[in-house]
Amino acid sequence: MEVEAAGSRLVIDVGKPLTAGWGEQVPLPDVPGLAKGDDPSLLAVLISHPHLDHYGLVDQVSARVPVYAGVGAAAVVGAARFFSPSGPALSPTGHLVDGVPIVVGPFTVTPHLVDHSGYDSYALVVDAGGRRLMYTGDLRGHGRKGRLFDRMLAAPPVGVDTLLLEGTHIRPGTDPAAERTEEPTEPAPPPTESQVELDMAATFRAATGLPVVVSSAQNIDRLVTVYRAARRAGRTLLLDLYTATVAQGTGRATIPQPGFPQLGVYVPQRQRVLVKTSGEFHRTHAIRPHRVFPEDLLAAPERYVLLSTSSTVQELLRAGTLDRHGMLVWSLWSGYLTEPSGVRLRAAAAAAGVPFIQHHTSGHAPLGDLKRLVAAVNPSRIVPIHTQGAGEYARHFPTATPRQDGTWWTV
Ligand SMILES: [Zn+2]
Ligand SMILES: [Zn+2]
């Protein structure tokens, strides 16, 4: 998004499309001054949160353009880069802080911390020229920080002229010929993170072997969920070195990390090699008191739960630490399972007789919560964003006004 007031401009989020391949080079959108830093009317870039579809092109932004992002967001990206260099570094020159307005030229930007699967995520309220624009960013109300969503409903920004409303769960109509006046049936609300915790705990209790949870190392909410579920089941949670490093990188003592009770670290082969070839032995040295080795897992699999990324599963199957007494728990979007790597993973688990189960919930609000948000904020106009169902908004929101990419309009 490019926002202009009194001849000055801001850019909000510079994401890489999720449809782009890992190594694919995607050019920056054609915004004056963004790539070359040669247009003083571009004052800053704001990054709402550290997901690639929001910051993935930030390395192409000129170093002369100030970049704002959350302290925690930058820290998590920084901690992850050693293990997962697929995304760019995030080195903001200024920071987004919950409720603290930033004045940039004619703009006043107020960040609002939100509940989302990405760490340190913000909605942004932009005031300029007597008009007020609100961007939801990515958000939900059913995560571990659902109170932030409730807080926004209870005390919403007032006088919003235009709300840029994320609609990940607003899907394009499947049958354009269907009766359009009919109220569409809404799918059941997604489970809360707390429900995922209870479901996982039941799964962990039922297994006699090692449950292995496959998730994203940067989904801190899910890390908390898995830790709490493991404790409920009386098991010790093992983080891989990547996940442990990101947890420590948050800089928050309340996030489960090495040193917590019933929490250990397992270093998969790939991460061992990474440490060895880089010579960064302080990484394994620092977690030595908490380290659990493959032979420990083999000796007493019923004592542990392992949280790692999907790349670790093959070595566990080969070593026999993950077997038919254990459980493979998929804690990511189910769509990844239809991709070739997901199909291979499931086939490998099935061949070893390992039971497979999914425990997951979305990082995005369902339609019902979006409606509650809109009712609270009560904007004059809603513009769809972050959705494939822009054309569907008007069925749910009378003030919806879809806009085309690359066109200017007035807030
Ligand atoms: Zn996101
Ligand atoms: Zn997103």
How do residues 39-48 score in pLDDT, each as one tens digit? 999 999 999 9
Given strand 8-12, what is the order of strands in its sheet? 2-5, 8-12, 42-46, 67-70, 94-96
Pairing of β 131-135 and β 162-166: parallel
Distance 87 CA to ligand 1 centre (A): 14
Letter for the amino acid at 207? Answer: A
Distance 53 CA to ligand 1 centre (A): 7
Nearest listed ligand to the Cα of residue 387: 2
Distance 114 CA to ligand 1 centre (A): 11
**How large is the average pLDDT for residues 157-170?**
97
Percent of the chain with pLDDT over 70: 97
For residue 403, what are the contacts with CB-CB under 8 A and spacing of at least 6? 383, 384, 409
Nearest listed ligand to the Cα of residue 118: 1
Distance 206 CA to ligand 2 centre (A): 35
Distance 281 CA to ligand 2 centre (A): 35
Distance 303 CA to ligand 1 centre (A): 34
Distance 55 CA to ligand 1 centre (A): 10
Angle between helices 193-206 and 220-232 (to 10 degrees): 40
**pLDDT the model gives residue 183:** 55
Distance 364 CA to ligand 1 centre (A): 8
Distance 138 CA to ligand 1 centre (A): 5
Q: Tokens in use for 162?
A: 């235009």
Distance 227 CA to ligand 1 centre (A): 22
Distance 363 CA to ligand 1 centre (A): 7
Q: Which residues of 26-48 are buried (b: 16+ CB within 10 A; e: fewer)?
A: eeeeebebbbeeeeeebbbbbbb
**pLDDT the model gives residue 184:** 55
Nearest listed ligand to the Cα of residue 386: 2
Distance 48 CA to ligand 2 centre (A): 9
Nearest listed ligand to the Cα of residue 18: 2
Distance 223 CA to ligand 1 centre (A): 16
Confidence bin at 21 (pLDDT 50/70/90) = confident
pTM, two decimal places: 0.95
Angle between helices 241-249 and 269-278 (to 10 degrees): 70
Distance 51 CA to ligand 1 centre (A): 5
Q: Determine contact, residues 249/274, Cβ cutoff 8 Å.
A: no
**How large is the average pLDDT for residues 267-277?**
97
Residue keyed to tokens 């995005």: 364
Confidence bin at 160 (pLDDT 50/70/90) = very high
Q: Which residues of 88-116 are buried (b: 16+ CB within 10 A; e: fewer)?
A: bebebeebbeeeeebebebbebbbbbbbb
How do residues 232-266 score in pLDDT, each as one tens digit? 999 999 999 999 999 999 999 999 999 999 999 99
Nearest listed ligand to the Cα of residue 140: 1
Distance 168 CA to ligand 1 centre (A): 10
**pLDDT the model gives residue 18:** 86
Pairing of β 304-308 and β 327-330: unpaired
The SS3 assignment for 136 reads coil
Nearest listed ligand to the Cα of residue 54: 2
Distance 213 CA to ligand 1 centre (A): 21
Q: With 80 as the cut, is the pLDDT of residue 14 above it?
A: yes
How do residues 74-102 score in pLDDT, each as one tens digit? 999 999 999 988 789 999 999 999 999 99
Q: With 60 as the cut, is the pLDDT of residue 2 above it?
A: yes
Distance 14 CA to ligand 2 centre (A): 11
Backbone angles phi, psi at 172, to 5 degrees: -60, 145
Distance 66 CA to ligand 2 centre (A): 22
Question: Nearest 10 degrees: CA dihedral of 232, 236, 238, 239?
Answer: 50
**How large is the average pLDDT for residues 310-316?**
95
How do residues 383-405 score in pLDDT, each as one tens digit? 999 999 999 999 999 999 999 99
Nearest listed ligand to the Cα of residue 51: 1
Q: With 70 as the cut, is the pLDDT of residue 181 above it?
A: no
Backbone angles phi, psi at 353, to 5 degrees: 75, 20
**What is the chain's mean pLDDT, rounded?**
95
Distance 210 CA to ligand 1 centre (A): 31
**pLDDT the model gives residue 185:** 62
Distance 50 CA to ligand 2 centre (A): 9
Cα separation of 338 and 227, whole Å?
A: 28
Distance 388 CA to ligand 2 centre (A): 12
Distance 147 CA to ligand 1 centre (A): 18
Distance 23 CA to ligand 1 centre (A): 20
